[in-house]
């Protein structure tokens, strides 16, 4: 596949939902997609941050069509309201499941529904949103994976960290689950002969310190931030570039369902977006099938693909 992240194809007339689109990687995904002419829906928890993000996007993308809908991954009731809001907007062509807890608590915490916060939010919340919005989704779902899945061995019997908890372990488990769900959704879509697509993308090693400045959203204003950027430059990149694989997964017409996209370099840390191989445990059909059952149990939502 050939792709130039600096020259994106027009998405005029399409609607793209980006969860967590007011900060971090999600902000850059939203700004880059807004520049294609798409209507971008920021599904974000904090309304003031969403207002700042929309103002920043419009400052850099004149006439950008951007709106905000409330979204809280840690509440299944709130997720239902977000899905209803997406339907009220006329549905969406693309759902980018970007939001999530990146720096979990040092102690195990739970969502309002009693699920371990990191997996319950990062994964179960997005499973629920995808299932509820699926009837009004026209093209594809993009899940946000992570290189942490190559660093932490999957324990599929302890995804909720009931036996043992550590912050990074819980984060990696959440990303194993996000990836496993994305690939299982692809398998089920194919089995149902459904033309919609499910893809997974990861940003590599992307930091704010190397990102372009976006006053009101992000600015490299301190000596520490500027120094950190110089130190991580050999192996990392800004979040503006970390957004590239996610944007490609969202709008590349040649990207296939089941693709796993990430930065070009051999470790997947930085560079232009290309196809990669995921961690085998995340891509396992056995894990995917079991994960789907667990997600339905945890969320209380039955997710069936018509024709499957």
Domain ranges of the chain: 15-298
222: which residues sit within 8 A by CB, 6+ positions away? none
What's the pLDDT at 306? 87
Gap between the Cα atoms of 243 and 61, Å rounded = 16
**How many C-beta atoms surround the C-beta of residue 212 within 10 A?**
14
Is 277 strand, coil or helix? coil
- 65-70 vs 206-207, strand pairing mode: unpaired
223: which residues sit within 8 A by CB, 6+ positions away? none
What's the pLDDT at 187? 98
The catalytic residue positions are: 171
Give strand pairing partners of 144: 201
Gap between the Cα atoms of 68 and 71, Å rounded = 9
- Kindly report the CATH number that applies to the domain delimited by 15-298: 3.40.50.720
What is the DSSP secondary structure assignment for residue 123, as one 8-state letter?
A: I
What's the pLDDT at 268? 85
What's the pLDDT at 127? 98
**CA-based angle 244:249:254, to the nearest 5?**
115
Gap between the Cα atoms of 73 and 99, Å rounded = 8
How long, in residues, is the chain? 308
Query: Which segments of the chain have a pLDDT < 70?
Result: 1, 219-234
247: which residues sit within 8 A by CB, 6+ positions away? 5, 8, 29, 32, 33, 273
**CA-based angle 303:304:305, to the nearest 5?**
125
What's the pLDDT at 1? 59
Tens-place pLDDT, residues 75-102: 999 999 999 999 999 999 999 999 998 8
299: which residues sit within 8 A by CB, 6+ positions away? 76, 124, 127, 128, 131
Gap between the Cα atoms of 286 and 51, Å rounded = 42
Q: Is the dihedral of CA 89, 93, 95, 96 positive or negative?
A: negative
Cβ(138)–Cβ(171) below 8 Å: no
Gap between the Cα atoms of 82 and 208, Å rounded = 28
Phi, psi dihedral angles at 72 (to 5 degrees): -130, 105
Tens-place pLDDT, residues 251-282: 999 999 999 999 999 788 999 999 999 999 99
pTM of the shown model: 0.94
């Amino acid at each position: 596949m050939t792709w130039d992240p600096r020259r994106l194809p027009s998405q005029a007339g399409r609607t793209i939902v980006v969860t967590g689109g007011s900060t971090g990687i999600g902000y850059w995904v939203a700004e880059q997609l807004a520049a294609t002419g798409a209507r971008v829906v920021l599904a974000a928890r904090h309304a003031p941050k969403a207002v700042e993000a929309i103002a920043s996007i419009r400052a850099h993308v004149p006439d950008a069509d951007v709106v905000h809908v409330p979204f809280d991954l840690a509440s299944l009731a709130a997720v239902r309201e977000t899905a209803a809001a997406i339907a009220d907007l006329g549905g969406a062509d693309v759902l980018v499941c970007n939001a999530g807890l990146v720096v979990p608590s040092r102690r195990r915490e739970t969502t309002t529904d009693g699920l371990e916060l990191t997996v319950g939010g990062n994964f179960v919340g997005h499973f629920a949103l995808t299932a509820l919005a699926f009837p009004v989704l026209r093209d594809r779902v993009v899940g946000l994976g992570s290189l942490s899945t190559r660093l932490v061995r999957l324990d599929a019997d302890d995804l909720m960290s009931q036996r043992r908890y550590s912050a990074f372990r819980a984060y990696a488990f959440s990303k194993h689950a996000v990836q496993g769900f994305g690939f299982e959704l692809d398998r089920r879509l194919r089995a149902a002969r459904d033309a919609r697509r499910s893809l997974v993308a990861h940003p590599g090693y992307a930091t704010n310190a190397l990102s372009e400045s976006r006053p009101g959203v992000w600015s490299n204003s301190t000596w520490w931030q500027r120094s950190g950027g110089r130190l991580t430059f050999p192996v990392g990149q800004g979040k503006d570039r970390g957004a590239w694989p996610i944007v490609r997964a969202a709008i590349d017409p040649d990207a296939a369902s089941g693709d796993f996209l990430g930065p070009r370099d051999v470790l997947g840390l930085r560079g232009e977006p290309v196809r990669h191989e995921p961690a085998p445990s995340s891509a396992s059909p056995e894990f995917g099938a079991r994960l789907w059952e667990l997600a339905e149990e945890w969320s209380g939502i039955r997710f069936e693909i018509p024709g499957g």
